[in-house]
Structure 1
Amino acid sequence: MLTLIRTRGPLGRAGRPRRAAAVALAVAAAVPLAASCAAGTSVLDKDALVVGVKKDQPGLGMLVSGRFEGFDVDVANYVAAKLGKRANFVPVTSGEREKALIDGRVDLIFATYSITPERKTKVGFGGPYYVAHQDTLVRTGQARIDNVRDLRGRKLCQVTGSNSWKRVKEERKVPVALVPSESYSECVKDLRSGKVDAVSTDDLILAGFATPGTAIVNAPFSDEKYGVGIRSGDIDGCEAVNKALTEMYQDGTAKKLLQKWFAKSGLALTFSVPQFEGCG
């Protein structure tokens, strides 16, 4: 609500500037306040939550016959239920996750959304709800690749909006040739066709895509903290999400869900509560 401040003072020419200045100050103060209130709407105030998930990552977020399924989807449903809400799912790509939150198209994101310092300047994060590890998927039968260093001189898939390629080329200075792609499902198609030599990203993502003709190198080289994307400033909502995630591990649900989706992957799964980043 805009409050106008009336000042006492002499009428006439001398009084007008003071009244005008007071009104201008009131407007200036009210505008950011109104914006702050709108931006600060908490997920706790909503009856139902719009949740962004992937639609093309087997085992994590997959759209099958009009329904979303996967580990991320199951975790989102668990958290929403603990908050007393219903979850309605919509697809998001890696490149649009921040914008979807900032624009208010989604309330939460469960989409293999690794927590990074850069992303934390734009949105908030609950969790992490799992700590994955970056690894590499290759074709079976091609020249031997035992670790990330063996990607030197090879063609690596680069997904728009993902940081995985940066950990190879920029952080570890491995000279790879980047081949752009819109999603990891497209990357895997390019790998099978020979357009790229490797796909490097989180091991849970790769586990869903690994099929005969491809293999995970099993040489992890990073920690990928899967966070729950939430609008910046929603501290109460973030803390409620973290409470729900803690209960998910304590009551054994996290272990059941991880085994449900990844028991056959051969990955060393972790069943203990991850260390949370904090909601401040």
Structure 2
Amino acid sequence: MKVSQAGAVAAMIGLALTASGCGGDDGKGDLSIGIKFDQPGVGMREPDGTFTGFDVDVANYVAKTLGYKPDHITFKQVRSSDRELLLQYNEVQFVAASYSINDKRKEKVDFAGPYFLAHQDLMVRADDTSITKAEDLNSKRLCSVTGSTSAENVRKTLAPKASLLELGGYSECVVALQDHLVDAMTTDNSILAGYTARKGNEGKFRLLGLSLSNENYGIGMKKGSTELQGKINAAIQKMVADGSWEAAVKKNFGADYKYEPAPAAVASGS
């Protein structure tokens, strides 16, 4: 598996503008896929350079179904705030990165899926009993990730008076929570579950078990990619039907994770 990281957004755009024709969805050449590098259980680049997580398994299954061999797949790091840019400037052919489908995003990109349903939750330090519900955050310090639907949901609906710290990645929020710089962290329960179960984090954090939103994960691609969208939807449906989807859920989130049944892959860009 070849490894590549997307650099600063400005540099990325400059490269894209000088390298026209990069990428494509015709199934020829190499395939670049955007994933998260810092989400245990979802999308993680391990110290040895390998990639693990549910999104990684989904991306590999889709790529194989599209006809790509492992040595023709390049994983590129994406953050929540730059997923649309990576697609628009052909840095990646598709993004599988805990990418929740919503109407605002569908104005900029097309989606295949959904392939997973998560719920927004809160993670606190294991010994902190002062937060039991979302409203408690109004007097607390909360960390989320820039560009995520979780941050927007907190700001607009759940706890508008919370002191919200937005960082570039979820791992940074975990460090801030551990170091008492914030009182809680919020994102999808799938991502939070990965962090609580991560080696070295055992007993440090806990989830409150709230369902603060429904997050339908989709695979994002450049606007107008109708043919690719159809092929990826078919691959997702095949993954569910042959049991690979459920096996990937159990492998990455653990036997105790209460997951929703696989949603029907029906998303579109319109």
Q: Report the TM-score, using the length of structure 2 for normalisation.
A: 0.84
- Partner Cα separation in structure 2 for residue 138 and residue 99 of structure 1: 32
Question: How many Å apart are 1:61 and its aligned residue?
Answer: 1.0
SS of residue in 1 equivalent to 2:74: strand
Could you say if the C-alpha distance between residues 44 and 273 of structure 1 is closer, same or farther in structure 2, counting changes exceeding 3 Å? farther
Asked whether the equivalents of residues 155 and 177 of structure 1 are also in contact (C-alpha less than 8 Å), the reply is yes
State the Cα distance separating 1:46 from its structure 2 match. Answer: 2.8
Residues in 2 aligned to 1:141 and 1:68: alpha-carbon distance in whole angstroms: 32
Q: Which amino acid aligns with 1:218?
A: G
Q: Which runs of 5+ in 2 are unaligned?
A: 1-19
Larger Rg: 1
Secondary structure of the structure 1 residue equivalent to 2:218:
strand
Q: Measure the CA separation in 2 of the matches of 1:80 and 1:45.
A: 9
Q: How far off its partner does 1:195 sit?
A: 0.3
Residue type of the partner of 2:85?
Answer: K
1:150 aligns with 2:140: no
Q: Is the 8 A contact 1:207 1:262 kept in 2?
A: yes
Shift in Å at residue 42 of structure 1?
Answer: 5.3
Q: Which residue of 1 aligns with 2:260?
A: 270
Shift of 1:102: 0.3
Q: SS of 2:84's equivalent? A: helix
CA drift at 1:279: 5.0
2:250 is aligned to: 259
Q: How does 1:163-178 map to 2 (within 5 A)?
A: 163-178=149-164
Once residues 263 and 241 of structure 2 are traced to their aligned partners in structure 1, the CA distance between those partners, rounded to angstroms, is 8
**Amino acid across the alignment from 2:268:** G
- Would you say how many aligned residue pairs link Structure 1 and Structure 2? 241
- Cα distance in 2, alignment partners of residues 216 and 274 from structure 1: 27
Pairing partner for 1:57 from 27, 39, 45 = 39
Q: Report the structure, 1 or 2, having the larger helix content.
A: 1
**Unpaired segments of 5 or more residues in structure 1?**
1-37
Q: Once the two structures are superposed, what CA deviation does each residue of 1:55-97 show, in whole Å capped at 9, x if it has no partner?
A: 1111111111112221111110001111112432111111111
* C-alpha distance in 2 between matches for 1:206 and 1:173: 19
Tell me, in whole angstroms, the C-alpha distance in 1 between the residues paired with 2:212 and 2:220.
24
| 2:209 aligned with 1:218 | yes
Provide the residue aligned with 2:3 in structure 1. Answer: none
Distance 1:44 1:273 in 2: 27
> How much has 1:272 moved relative to structure 2?
3.0
How far is the alpha carbon of 1:117 from its aligned partner?
A: 1.0
Residue of structure 2 equivalent to 1:235: 226
Distance change >3 Å, CA 90–CA 154, structure 1 → 2:
same
